[in-house]
Amino acid sequence: MHDNPRPGIAPPGTPAHEHQRRLVLELAAEPPPEGDCPAELAAVLGLAPHALEAAADALVAAGLAERRAGRLRASPQTLVLDALWPLGR
């Protein structure tokens, strides 16, 4: 068995885990069609830019988020999960 069955996702109970949780929720809940600006997300979530970028990198590595043209968005898989089990509602 693997030590971490969730590659890229920080262990529960850590600040990085909470950042990742909050970011994926923000990306999935009523996402703008063009995606979200990382600097604006950092401000909305109250995260330092480097913490937001670390969380984004982890979510991208795990297949939960995508980067396009300098913007962040939920991956199609995350949007399907949100449609089945609403994350932010």
User: Quick one: DSSP state of residue 36?
Assistant: B
Q: What is the pLDDT of residues 15-58, one digit of tens each?
A: 999 999 999 999 998 889 899 999 999 999 999 999 999 999 99
Q: What is the pTM of this model?
A: 0.89
Contacts 24+ apart (CB under 8 A), 1-7: 6/62, 7/61, 7/62
Residue 5: inside a domain? no
- Residue 31 has a pLDDT of 87
pLDDT at residue 5 tops 90: no
Total domain count, the chain: 1
CA angle, corner 59, sides to 54 and 61, nearest 5? Answer: 95
Residue 71: inside a domain? yes
Q: Which residue has the higher pLDDT, 8 or 25?
A: 25
Residue 77: inside a domain? yes
- Residue 4 has a pLDDT of 54
CA angle, corner 48, sides to 44 and 49, nearest 5? Answer: 90
Identify the CATH number of the domain in which residue 42 sits: 1.10.10.10
- Residue 87 has a pLDDT of 81
Q: What is the pLDDT of residues 66-83, one digit of tens each?
A: 999 999 999 999 999 999
**Domain residues for 56?**
15-84
Residue 1: inside a domain? no
